Amino acid sequence: MSISDLIETRLRASMSDSSQGRRARLAATLAVGLLSRRERAIPWWPAERIAELQRRRLRAQVVHAAATVPHWRELFASRGIDPASIRGAEDLARLPMIDAASLVADPMRFVSEAYRSRAGREVFKTSGSTSGLRKPIFWDHASLLLRAARGERDRVVITDLAGERWTGVVAREFMTTEWRHTLGRWLGADTEGHQRLLILPADFSSRTQRTIYSEKTMIPRRPIHYHHLPPTVPFAVAAAHLAAIRPRIVFSFGSYVDQFLHWVHASGAPVAMPRLWVYLGDRVSPGARALAQAIGCPLYSVYGAMEAGTIGFQCERREGFHLNVDLCAVRVVGDDGADVRPGETGDIVISPLDNRAIVLFNYRLGDRGTLSPVDCACGRRLPVLATMDGRRSEFVCLGDGREVSTIALEASFGAELRRTVQAQLRQSSPGRLVWRVVAAERSDRPSLAEAIVARGRQVLGESTALDVEFVDGIALTDAGKFPRAVVASGAGGALP
């Protein structure tokens, strides 16, 4: 076992201790820092060394699943599969596929018995971007904490594209108000000129990762150079914040930066754009990419899912996604479930290897993509997802004329929608919306409707009327897609 493996093992063991005193938090912080150094190097390892790391993690996950996860324990027994025979990613083809419907039908069958209680884990709800089914995803605290180190793979790219020094980025991430002058002056990591603006809902998840980091380590919940705006604010307000804060990096949904760039172009207003705009959640249109290039604001993205964390990241070339295959095995399969060759498009199937709370082998995400047949010219040895057909958001029109994407609204109603199985917006005219929801089995419908309407007044404003309609199910389109919004002709908007 390598030193890094030993550190990771000890970190996982320490998370089982509910008492997190200052000494334990400091030890966890040092462990994350030491592991971060290896994480920066892994993408550059030889392909066979990366493959061996994947095999070790896959074998450990299979052993864990066979011992503690009811679905896999019963499946291995019923099919006569020896868990020890699953030794590499190629062996995953012997296991059946899992889809959203299977997970929603009985999610606890996929949850490890070690994480059934509330201690040591968090539960998030997916957006159901393809099937519309909102799935509970369990994450153990140790795996969430390790994601702080795993993030170094794309963090170093973001740092480079934004023109920052890595040491300064790390120092600023640890800055609190009381440390600002001493730590900043000592490390030359003052926050001036290195601001961050997050245009994302404040309650984007049930508990943000940084909250857990702050509980388990010395990493502060919110570094002082981070600023926040909800994605429902008018673009003029966002532009004013850009002018006042001058952030070096902005984070938002893809649909938000798409609309914002078109607004900047149409208005002709001078806007202080950041050095880098990082987007997530949904896609950016070709037109917006052209506008970003014309004004000199590079766009950057990662490919992730609640079920797996960061599946892949762009390098400095921003051509496709380098797949973190040691953390999440990725297959691209055809209609028959067999792997397609690199260069051919198929369904993306994942097997996360870095989460002990829930185990999902051969999980269909609902995305389609193409693996590159050649290595990236950047020199990283992780395989590349050359194309990815991900989520494209629909838009609804509010009473004050603003157009807001469904991904932004779903995230803004996150606490309420976690009590649903499916949810769809219907718009009959500008400023008149209806949430059609399939309530979760134990949800109290009157209180849920009241909570949704109350959140609507807060998020949408008084000029937009919002009602709630409870239904037994929401049908997919003829193409098998879930319509997240149904907008009457002339009642809403769409990306240019």
The second-level CATH assignment, the architecture, of 151-297 is 3-Layer(aba) Sandwich (3.40)
Domain 151-297 shares a fold with domain 395-487: no
In angstroms, rounded to a whole number, what is the distance separating the alpha carbons of residues 150 and 89?
20
pLDDT at 212: 82
Exposure letters 108-140 (e unless 16+ CB within 10 A, then b)? eebbbebbeeeebbbbbbbbbbbbbbbbbbbbb
Q: Is the pLDDT of residue 187 over 60?
A: no
Q: Is the pLDDT of residue 206 over 50?
A: no
Q: Is the pLDDT of residue 143 over 70?
A: yes
Tell me the per-residue pLDDT of 30-39, one tens digit each, with 9 for 90 and over: 999 899 999 9
- Parallel, antiparallel, or unpaired: how do β-strands 249-253 and 196-199 relate? parallel
Which amino acid, residue 94?
Answer: R
In angstroms, rounded to a whole number, what is the distance separating the alpha carbons of residues 133 and 422?
5
* Percentage helix, strand, coil for the chain under 3-state DSSP, each rounded to 5: 40, 20, 40
pLDDT at 113: 96
Domains of the chain, by residue range, sit at 3-145+320-389, 151-297, 395-487
Q: Which fold has domain 3-145+320-389?
A: Rossmann fold (3.40.50)
Joined together, the tokens standing for residue 19 give 């008492």
CB 439 within 8 A of CB 421: yes
- Parallel, antiparallel, or unpaired: how do β-strands 363-371 and 420-429 relate? unpaired
pTM: 0.86
Percent pLDDT > 70 in the chain is: 90
Query: Average pLDDT of 58-72?
Result: 97
More confident residue, 490 or 167: 167
CATH class of 395-487: alpha beta
pLDDT at 436: 94
Query: Average pLDDT of 78-103?
Result: 93
Tell me the per-residue pLDDT of 215-262, one tens digit each, with 9 for 90 and over: 888 887 777 888 999 998 889 999 999 999 999 999 999 999 999 999
Residue the block writes with tokens 């970190």:
11
Query: Average pLDDT of 95-119?
Result: 90
286-295 and 254-267 helices cross at what angle (nearest 10)?
60
Q: What's the mean pLDDT when you consider all of the chain?
A: 88
